[in-house]
């Protein structure tokens, strides 16, 4: 039996940015972008579920983000996660990777009793690949980054094939360990219809609060109890629930700051137009010969 | 007075130094000169003294050498232990790593421990005074990187922490040997093994020696998604073969299976600066341009006259690649064979 914790993130779909998404000041209008489940995190979840399928144990998914990030947690439930946690608080907003890893490490310590922590190698909105290793350091556990295959798990040891520059290597490690995975590591399973039916109405505290605001006959504590009884409550953690030093959270706890953002400006077209004819190409080749390129 | 040391982690694999580390030393030299500080290299490995000595050709004032059999393979824990203790002791102002698998594994670990700011995958570094939230900061490191899938360029600063760390993409800084090498000044630091080092052991390493060396190619012919199919992409190979060039592709071409990932040029692929880069059926998204815009001469062939690739090209041919390439091959052969 092995217990896994999976770090997941909801990200703006940066692959599909159009003109409308860029604001005039060159910043990105996140609201215009569809929010998606960061793919490599889904692969991480898949690996955790495979460990559970083979050896038993539990899979717990956690995400830090705005209330809307509950969406990816429901997806985790659909795929097979046993428990999910939403970590959300205005005081967490604006966190860089250092502040994020601090809060995540505190959450992981609170959940406790884990053998494996899985995460995607990186999230497509920042592409930093930093949160995994930074979290491992704060937990005081080893890490394997760029994992592409779990080869073997036996007792408290795991053997993993990972990508390195210009090749690959096989490493043997003692658990507990944090592993970040690359997209080729596994084909992600589709959500199960039965689980979608079971969990589509699972709700986080913030979503239940919204329901209460719209209905004076409901009380939040009672509603939470009711959802807990029906196994539909998504655990929601804020700064009140965690032993965190607020100076190390959110923008306050982030040493890196964005000083300037520019949308990409092109140099402007000063190129020489060559006709797509034999004569045109002949002239171009002459120029290149002249320049000693050919 | 605050110290103004600029440090570069010099990466090696099987005793072979990574190009990016010398690129960073060359850049680090300039940053150290601007700061009127010292440039220091850190070399970790086994039997790597030669690499330590090589750092002085690229401008290092001093090199810390940590040489021990346990450090033969890169492993996160012993390498980060060494670096963390050195950094805690010396408090450098700037620490640079290559944005390689090793650099991206090591740097966040070290930054997390030392609570330093860390910016990933920078494409430019500058020193400048900065006005931030109505406060003036002297001589900060501007860490410039594409963000948001390459749609914006962000300048990141670390105003309130002494140690500023960054990983830098391979190939974007120019490697330059100093006209006069620095005096050799190697400080050997003893390595004390600890039981935590063996929590992860390397069992086996396979280097897939890639036959492709895009970085060294003087001419590159690169194809994009615009070619439409793998069959059409063969024309790119044919042209490259004719003119003695290497073949590359955009990310879209790689994703579509037209060409293998080891030939991808761009933000998530290789950065190249050849004498000539011929971009065929490549629209020229920022991610791609980031990997090739430093080429000496760029020729773009595209059916769309408004394709952004033309904005950074020296010569542009608006036309169908399937017609233009055969003509190019024919004319080339008639002139040069």
Question: Which CATH number characterizes residue B39's domain?
Answer: 3.40.50.620
A-B Cβ pairs (cutoff 8 Å, strict):
249
Contact residues for A19 (Cβ-Cβ < 8 A; gap 6+) = none
The answer to whether residue B1 scores a pLDDT higher than 60 is no
What percent of chain B shows pLDDT beyond 70? 98
Which domain covers residue B311, as residue numbers? 214-336
Token pair of B273 as six digits: 């600066």
Whether B1 is covered by a domain: the verdict is no
Contact A276 B324 (CB under 8 A): yes
What percent of chain A shows pLDDT beyond 70? 93
Closest CA–CA distance from residue B134 to any residue of chain A (Å): 12
Residues B222 and B195 in one domain: no
Tell me the pLDDT band of B147, cut-offs 50, 70 and 90.
confident
By the 8 A CB rule, do A116 and A225 touch?
no
Whether B207 is covered by a domain: the verdict is no
A262: which chain B residues are within 8 Å (Cβ-Cβ)?
152-155
Of A27, A137, A255, the CB nearest to B113: A137
Q: What is the pLDDT of residue A268?
A: 54
The B residues from 169 to 228 touching A (CB cutoff 8 Å) are 196, 199-210, 218-219
Residues B36 and B166 in one domain: yes
Whether B206 is covered by a domain: the verdict is no
Substitution target in B199, B268, B337 with the highest count of A β-carbons within 10 Å is B199
The answer to whether residue A146 scores a pLDDT higher than 90 is yes
The answer to whether residue B116 scores a pLDDT higher than 90 is yes
Q: Among B151, B166, B199, which residue terminates a domain?
A: B199
Residues B188 and B259 in one domain: no
Residues B221 and B181 in one domain: no
B208: which chain A residues are within 8 Å (Cβ-Cβ)?
166-168
Three-state secondary structure call for residue B25: helix
B327: which chain A residues are within 8 Å (Cβ-Cβ)?
276-278, 281
Q: Could you give the CA distance from residue B249 to residue B308 in angstroms, rounded to a whole number?
A: 17
Tell me the pLDDT band of A267, cut-offs 50, 70 and 90.
low
Segment B279-286 mean pLDDT:
92
By the 8 A CB rule, do B113 and B80 touch?
yes
By the 8 A CB rule, do B4 and B35 touch?
yes
Residues B174 and B228 in one domain: no
Residues B221 and B191 in one domain: no
Tell me the pLDDT band of B279, cut-offs 50, 70 and 90.
very high
By the 8 A CB rule, do A160 and A150 touch?
yes
Q: For residue A226, how many other CB atoms are within 10 A of its CB? A: 13
Whether B319 is covered by a domain: the verdict is yes
Whether B209 is covered by a domain: the verdict is no
Closest CA–CA distance from residue A61 to any residue of chain B (Å): 22
Chain A CA closest to residue B129: A259
The answer to whether residue A28 scores a pLDDT higher than 70 is no
Contact A133 B105 (CB under 8 A): yes
Q: Which domains does chain A have, with CATH numbers?
A: 4-248 (3.40.50.620)
Q: Could you give the CA distance from residue A261 to residue A254 in angstroms, rounded to a whole number?
A: 18
By the 8 A CB rule, do B263 and B215 touch?
no
Q: Could you give the CA distance from residue A79 to residue A190 in angstroms, rounded to a whole number?
A: 7
Please check whether residue B242 touches A, CB under 8 A: no
**Rounded mean pLDDT of chain B?**
94
The answer to whether residue A27 scores a pLDDT higher than 70 is no
Residues B34 and B162 in one domain: yes
Q: What is the pLDDT of residue A269?
A: 60
Residues B244 and B97 in one domain: no
Whether B205 is covered by a domain: the verdict is no
Closest CA–CA distance from residue B239 to any residue of chain A (Å): 13
Query: pLDDT tens digits for A89-114?
Result: 999 999 999 999 999 999 999 999 99
Q: What is the pLDDT of residue A25?
A: 58
The answer to whether residue A76 scores a pLDDT higher than 90 is yes
Segment B69-87 mean pLDDT:
97
As a dihedral over the C-alpha atoms of residue B99, residue B100, residue B106, residue B110, rounded to 10 degrees, the angle is -10
Segment B180-200 mean pLDDT:
96
Q: What is the pLDDT of residue A158?
A: 98
Three-state secondary structure call for residue B152: strand
Q: Among B174, B199, B224, which residue terminates a domain?
A: B199
Provide the number of structural domains found in chain B.
Answer: 2
Half-sphere exposure of A253 (CA within 13 A, CB side): 20
By the 8 A CB rule, do B82 and B106 touch?
no
Residues B167 and B249 in one domain: no
What does the radius of gyration of chain A's CA atoms come to, in whole angstroms? 24
Substitution target in A281, A284, A286, A287 with the highest count of B β-carbons within 10 Å is A281
Residues B96 and B146 in one domain: yes
Closest CA–CA distance from residue A222 to any residue of chain B (Å): 41
Closest CA–CA distance from residue B125 to any residue of chain A (Å): 13
Whether B331 is covered by a domain: the verdict is yes
Q: What is the pLDDT of residue A95?
A: 94
Contact A259 B132 (CB under 8 A): yes
Where do the H-state alpha helices sit in B72-191?
76-90, 101-114
Token pair of A180 as six digits: 């970040």
Token pair of A277 as six digits: 């004819």
Chain B CA closest to residue A163: B101
Of B102, B147, B311, the CB nearest to A269: B311
Q: Could you give the CA distance from residue A68 to residue A91 in angstroms, rounded to a whole number?
A: 16
Q: Could you give the CA distance from residue A125 to residue A258 in angstroms, rounded to a whole number?
A: 14
Of B199, B318, B319, the CB nearest to A174: B199
Residues B171 and B290 in one domain: no
The B residues from 295 to 314 touching A (CB cutoff 8 Å) are 296-297, 299-300, 308, 310-314
Q: Could you give the CA distance from residue B165 to residue B95 in angstroms, rounded to a whole number?
A: 5
Tell me the pLDDT band of B43, cut-offs 50, 70 and 90.
very high
Q: What is the pLDDT of residue A16?
A: 67
Q: What is the pLDDT of residue A83?
A: 96
Q: What is the pLDDT of residue B337?
A: 67
By the 8 A CB rule, do B277 and B298 touch?
yes
Tell me the pLDDT band of B172, cut-offs 50, 70 and 90.
confident
Substitution target in A101, A128, A132, A277 with the highest count of B β-carbons within 10 Å is A128
Tell me the pLDDT band of B171, cut-offs 50, 70 and 90.
confident
Whether B152 is covered by a domain: the verdict is yes
Q: Could you give the CA distance from residue B335 to residue B313 in angstroms, rounded to a whole number?
A: 24
Q: Could you give the CA distance from residue A263 to residue A23 in angstroms, rounded to a whole number?
A: 9
By the 8 A CB rule, do A257 and B132 touch?
yes
Of B109, B208, B312, the CB nearest to A167: B208
Give B270's DSSP letter: B
Tell me the pLDDT band of A126, cut-offs 50, 70 and 90.
confident
Q: Give the distance from CA A45 to its chain's centroid.
A: 10
One-character DSSP codes across B166-226: EEE-TTSSPP---SSPPPP-EEE------GGGGGEEEEEEEE---S--GGG-SEEEEE-GG
Residues B170 and B293 in one domain: no
Q: Among B168, B199, B230, which residue terminates a domain?
A: B199
The answer to whether residue B208 scores a pLDDT higher than 80 is no
Q: What is the pLDDT of residue A24?
A: 61
CATH number for the domain that contains residue B249 = 3.40.50.1220
Sign of the C-alpha dihedral computed for residues A213, A215, A217 and A218 taken in this order: negative
Q: What is the pLDDT of residue B148?
A: 76
């Amino acid at each position: 039996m092995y217990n896994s914790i999976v770090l997941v993130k909801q990200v703006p779909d940066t692959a599909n940015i159009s003109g409308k998404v860029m604001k005039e000041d060159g910043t990105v209008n996140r609201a215009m972008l569809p929010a998606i489940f960061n793919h490599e995190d889904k692969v991480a979840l898949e690996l955790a579920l495979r460990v559970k399928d083979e050896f038993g144990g539990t899979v717990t998914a956690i995400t830090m983000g705005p209330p809307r990030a509950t969406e990816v947690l429901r997806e985790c439930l659909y795929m097979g996660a046993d428990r999910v946690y939403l970590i959300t608080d205005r005081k967490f907003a604006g966190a860089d990777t250092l502040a994020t890893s601090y809060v995540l490490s505190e959450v992981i310590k609170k959940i406790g009793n884990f053998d494996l922590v899985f995460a995607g190698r990186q999230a497509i909105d920042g592409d930093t690949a930093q949160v995994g290793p930074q979290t491992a350091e704060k937990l005081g556990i080893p890490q394997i980054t760029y994992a592409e295959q779990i080869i073997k798990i036996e007792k408290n040891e795991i053997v993993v094939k990972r990508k390195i520059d210009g090749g690959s290597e096989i490493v043997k490690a003692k658990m507990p360990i944090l592993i970040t995975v690359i997209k080729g590591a596994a084909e992600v399973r589709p959500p199960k219809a039965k689980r979608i039916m079971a969990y589509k109405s699972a709700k986080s505290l913030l979503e239940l609060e919204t329901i209460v605001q719209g209905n004076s006959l409901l009380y939040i504590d009672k509603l939470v109890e009711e959802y807990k009884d029906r196994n539909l409550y998504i655990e929601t953690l804020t700064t009140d629930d965690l032993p965190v030093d607020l100076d190390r959270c959110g923008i306050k706890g982030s040493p890196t700051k964005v000083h300037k953002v520019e949308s990409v400006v092109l140099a402007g077209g000063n190129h020489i137009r060559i006709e797509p004819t034999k004569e045109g190409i002949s002239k171009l080749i002459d120029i290149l010969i002249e320049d000693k390129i050919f | 007075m605050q110290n103004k040391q600029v440090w570069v982690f010099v990466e090696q694999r099987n005793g072979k130094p990574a190009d990016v580390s010398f690129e960073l030393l060359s850049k680090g030299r300039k940053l150290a000169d601007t700061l009127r500080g010292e440039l220091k290299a850190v070399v970790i490995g086994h039997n790597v003294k030669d690499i330590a000595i090589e750092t002085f050709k690229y401008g290092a004032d001093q090199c810390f050498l940590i040489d021990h059999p346990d450090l033969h393979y890169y492993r996160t824990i012993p390498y980060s232990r060494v670096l963390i203790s050195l950094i805690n002791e010396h408090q450098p102002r700037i620490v640079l790593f290559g944005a390689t698998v090793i650099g991206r594994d090591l740097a966040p670990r070290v930054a997390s421990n030392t609570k330093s700011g860390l910016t990933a995958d920078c494409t430019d570094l500058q020193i400048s005074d900065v006005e931030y939230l109505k406060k003036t900061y002297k001589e900060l490191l501007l860490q410039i990187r594409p963000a948001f899938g390459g749609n914006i360029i962000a300048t990141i600063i670390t105003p309130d922490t002494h140690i500023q760390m960054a990983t830098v993409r391979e190939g974007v800084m120019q490697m330059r040997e100093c006209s006069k090498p620095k005096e050799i000044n190697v400080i050997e630091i003893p390595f004390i093994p600890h039981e935590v080092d063996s929590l992860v052991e390397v069992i086996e390493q396979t280097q897939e020696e890639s036959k492709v060396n895009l970085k060294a190619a003087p001419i590159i012919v690169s194809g994009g998604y615009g070619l439409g199919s793998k069959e059409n992409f063969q024309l790119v190979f044919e042209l490259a073969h004719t003119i003695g060039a290497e073949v590359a592709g955009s990310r879209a071409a790689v994703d579509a299976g037209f060409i293998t990932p080891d030939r991808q040029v761009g933000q998530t692929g290789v950065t190249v600066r050849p004498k000539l880069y011929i971009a065929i059926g490549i629209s020229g998204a920022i991610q791609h341009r980031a990997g090739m815009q430093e080429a000496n001469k760029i020729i773009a062939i595209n059916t769309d006259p408004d394709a952004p690739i033309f904005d950074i090209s020296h010569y542009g041919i608006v036309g169908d690649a399937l017609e233009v390439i055969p003509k190019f091959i024919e004319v080339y052969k008639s002139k040069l064979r």
